[in-house]
Each structure stands twice: as structure tokens, then as C-alpha cells.
Homo-oligomer: A and B are copies of this chain.
Amino acid sequence: MGVIEFWFEFASTYSYPAAMRIEALASKAGHMVEWTPFLLGPLFHAQQGLTDSPFNAVPVKGRYMWRDLARVCAKEGLPLQTPVAFPQSGLLAARCTLALAKEARAAFVKAVYTENFARGALISEPDVIARCIESAGQDSGAVLARSGTDEIKAELKANTEEAIRRGVFGSPTFFAGDGEMFWGNDRLEDAMAWQDAPRKVMSIGGPK
């Protein structure tokens, strides 16, 4: 029993299957999930000098990613359709996540990923986000209003800065309770297993 931190950016493609899978895996293992939104754009810019998704900046990687994502979603039985834009702005959705009570976040986050990757909706649109909030059983007017406050803006900025500080460079990223970091939907099972029983693994660190 412990807490798995799930750090995610709403624009991220592989974060969609991760968001849809994480609750079932965590619940089976008896772990809690902490849903932590951040913005990936500032990380890509600070760490890689990028002003766009690496999947757009390097088209050969992008072409493979869309095909691979289709295979991953097919394997998981998840619907997938071409997003209206890529990457979409996840700013409003990230702020609304933080404006919601913690217990409503999972349902909201999954609804937003579904709008982005399975329904072809523009997730920067307040109307789209409003229906995600309502589908999580919350008051969309109140949450949207709260999402625009200085407090929420500062909280999202602090998450993004903490992500940089902790060595995050992509989404999804998972942290086990001892701080061990796992990157990518492919590492979700490993993160759960580590939370159950951290392994003693010697780092080699690389040359120099």
C-alpha cells in the first residue's frame, strides 16, 4: 500500500492509455494514485530547445508514434481517432484538474483524454472542459471560475517547476514512494511493482 504519483500533460499521446489504465492497476496492487498535471512545453524548451512536440519536430518519429499508439490502444481496447490538433493546449484542463477536489480528478482527467484522443474535440475549449467536469459529477461553472484564480495558476506553475527539478522530461512519468522515477506508459507495471517491493539496483551512471 502506497502512493504512485502520476505526472501527466494533457497533450501527450502515450499519457492517454496510461491515464485509462492506471486506476485498475493501482487498485489491484492496493496503491493510491496521485494525479499531478504539469505542462510539458516549458520542459521541452528548457531541456531540448524545442518549441513543438518532438513528434512534430522529428517527423520520422512522429509517423512511428501514431502507428505505435494505434497498436497500443488496440491492444488495450481503447478507442482512438485522429486528434483535431497535435499537440493541443492542455493549459485549461491542467488548471481545472487542480481546481477540482482530489476525488474528482481521475474521472475528469480520463474524460479530457477521451475528448482529445477518442472524440476529436478541442480540449482548449471551455465548453469541452465543462462537459468533462460535469461528467465527473462537479459544477463546471464553479470549477472553471476557480481554474482562473492566481492560486491555481501558481500551483500549476509550481508543479511544472517541480517536474524540472525532479528530472522529469516527458509524460507520462510515475514516481514510486521512494522517489524512483519511471517514464512512459510502458513502465506503468514496473512502477507498480517497485512500489510493492523496491529493488536494489546499482546505478552505473554512464561514463564520465
Contact = CB atoms under 8 A, between A and B. Distances in A.
A204 to B, nearest CB: 5
B201 A71 contact: yes
Interface in A28-64: 47-48, 55, 58, 60-64
A85 B207 contact: yes
Contacts of A55: 206
Contact of A206 (B66, B199, B206): B66
Q: Taking the full assembly, how many copies of this chain does it contain?
A: 2
A67 B180 CA distance: 10
Contacts of A205: 66, 82
Contacts of A82: 204-207
Interface of A: 47-48, 55, 58, 60-71, 74, 80-86, 167, 169, 181-183, 186-187, 190, 199, 201-207
The 5 A-B pairs with the shortest beta carbon distances in the complex, nearest first, are A66-B206, A74-B201, A82-B204, A60-B169, A186-B186
B186 A71 contact: no
B60 A206 contact: no
Contact of A169 (B61, B169, B190): B61
Given A205-B82, A206-B82, A167 B71 contact: no
A55 B64 CA distance: 20
Given A48-B58, A58-B48, A199-B71, A204 B167 contact: no
